[in-house]
Amino acid sequence: TQWKNGAYTETSIWQDLNDDRGVGHGAGETVWASLPPVLTVRHMQHYADKQLAEESFEHHVEWLEFLKANWNAGMYRLFYERLGKDLSLKYMGGPGGLGDWIALRTRDTWLTHNAFYMASARAIVYLAARLEAYSEIGKSALALANEIKDDINALYMANNDFQIKNNTEWTPGPEMGLFTRIVPGTERCTILKKWICHAGSEEPVTWPGDEEQRFFRHLNNQDLDDMIKHKKVKRNGIDDKGEECFRTIWRRRHHTPEGILSIRYSLKTLSDIGFHNIALSKVTGDGFPSFEYMLSHNATTLWETWWRSEDVYSRNHPMLGAISEWAVSSVAGVSLAPTTIGGKELLFWPRVPKSAVIVQYASASQGTKRGDAAIAWEFLGLPKNKTLLDSGVVEVHIRILVPPSSVAILRLPCYGNGVSIKYAQQLPNLEKAKSDATVVCTMRRSAGMGFHYNWEYNKVKQEWSKFYNKKINRHSMQELSFHRRS
């Protein structure tokens, strides 16, 4: 919803939701309120819907003009009046907005406000270039976007780590600067090296968590002792009520403490810049915080939080759903090309890992207005000895499907010398592939090859226990339409 003054609200239904965390005058929190122009760009990339772009363009320009007119006063109210006039407090996360919502680190809301102000300007630039009558507006928006980017860099590049304070890990941090190209090209390697030291760290971090405290206090002794032995939790003294306290233990390399924004920035950046192995390790980690943690508590949909909220936060919320985009575009390797209009140009870029320990094959499809694009890849000739999955010499079989009248770019993994590329000499039988995939899917479902355990609460004993079972995999498995043996 948009007010007459040009302000977009956070949601269309609840129009004053979190307007106290925006720049004022009815505007929602800047990240959420910037969705209309940003989403119009994505819509144009998928469908080339010029009519929608024309109808909405002036509204987006009004939003950008509203931000320009109210930005300084709004930021002053959010970050100075609430937190005092001390410059060192200016950038504290939390009170100034939502930012990287539900992340397990301090949220840098000043950065996210400004980054999405910049994103709104960049969206105007993109749309103006495709609506040729608005070239002057596009030039003005580009100048504003660059000005905002320079303002961010002036603050965040002072210590060459893209953090507002030295030796901090506020979120989003370097992953956002790298993903959005805010970091200057000449400094990207420096920022990447410093960020990888944190993103790939094995250093343990702890989390108290109210719901986790209740869980551990009612966990059976055998499972609790096993988790302490494997350093997934530690005892943390006695509270003022005489109850034992615990803290879960997690590591950045094997867990996902990111919030709604940084979960996308971190996974995509890691995979795009050559550290796909770390991205895979993070997503497949077990224990808190991880997607495995949700599954272990019988989740059938994504939660709004990494922790086990029993009352406040939603358990059916696609907030952390960027993992789905990453899995399709990076693990499998199919997406729209970044500069496409109407989904005509496709990018096939499978980040085939150098180890088969975590992933041995992947497949996915990407819908376009011309039809579905699809990819499937698999390691062939893997050693039977599982200890050699890190070092075995194997073949990689890749199959792609390009819709009619589309243009495809295939970006192959680079492994150095000794790699040969062979091309298929005949088209595969796709109908047989689909039929074979159906057989495999039926077998997997009947064998109960879904997630293998979950925590169950015994109301009589008032005790949690780990329950091993073979759940039915209810996923449709449409991505297996490229059966890898057909």
> What pLDDT, on the 0 to 100 scale, is given for residue 81?
59
pLDDT mean over 340-355: 94
E strand or H helix that includes residue 365: strand 361-368
pLDDT mean over 348-363: 92
280 pLDDT above the threshold of 80 = yes
Is 159:183 a contact under the CB 8 Å cutoff?
Answer: no
Residues 130-164 pLDDT 10s: 998 888 999 999 999 999 999 999 989 988 889 87
> What pLDDT, on the 0 to 100 scale, is given for residue 484?
52
465: tokens are 């226990």
196 vs 429, which has greater pLDDT? Answer: 196
Average pLDDT score over the chain = 88
> CA-CA distance, 343 to 367, in Å (whole number)?
9
Give the list of residues 6+ apart from residue 40 with CB closer than 8 angstroms, or none.
52, 53, 56, 60, 123, 127
Percent of the chain with pLDDT over 90: 58
For tokens 């551990």, name the residue: 216
HEC sequence for 13-37: CCCCCCHHHCCCCCCCCHHHHCHHH
pLDDT mean over 390-403: 87
Closest by alpha carbon to 161, among 193, 113, 202, 186? 193
Residues 219-252 pLDDT 10s: 999 999 999 999 999 999 999 999 999 999 999 8
Please list the alpha-helical segments (H only) found in 234-375. 262-272, 276-283, 291-296, 322-326
> CA-CA distance, 63 to 115, in Å (whole number)?
15
463-468/453-458 β-pairing: antiparallel
197 pLDDT above the threshold of 60 = yes
484 vs 288, which has greater pLDDT? Answer: 288
> What pLDDT, on the 0 to 100 scale, is given for residue 87?
45
Cite the beta strand spans of 225-344 per DSSP E.
233-238, 244-251, 334-336
> What pLDDT, on the 0 to 100 scale, is given for residue 482?
52
> CA-CA distance, 162 to 431, in Å (whole number)?
51
> CA-CA distance, 254 to 232, in Å (whole number)?
12
> What pLDDT, on the 0 to 100 scale, is given for residue 481?
47
Residues 18-62 pLDDT 10s: 788 899 999 999 999 999 999 999 999 999 999 999 999 999 999
282 pLDDT above the threshold of 80 = yes
Which amino acid is residue 307, in one-letter code?
Answer: W
414: tokens are 């680079």
pTM: 0.91
Is 334:117 a contact under the CB 8 Å cutoff?
Answer: no
Provide, for the chain, the percentages of residues in helix, strand and coil under a 3-state DSSP scheme, each rounded to the nearest 5.
Answer: 40, 15, 45
Burial per residue of 341-350, b for 16 or more beta-carbon CB atoms within 10 angstroms, e otherwise? bbbbbbbbbb
113 pLDDT above the threshold of 80 = yes
Is 26:17 a contact under the CB 8 Å cutoff?
Answer: no
* CA 327 to each of CA 59, 181, 190, 331: distance values in angstroms, whole numbers, following the listed order: 34, 22, 27, 5
Give the list of residues 6+ apart from residue 447 with CB closer than 8 angstroms, or none.
470
Q: pLDDT band at 93, cuts 50/70/90? A: very low
Supply the DSSP symbol for 302: -
Residue 196 CB: number of other CB atoms within 10 A? Answer: 17
> What pLDDT, on the 0 to 100 scale, is given for residue 94?
42
Is 474:445 a contact under the CB 8 Å cutoff?
Answer: yes
Percent of the chain with pLDDT over 70: 92
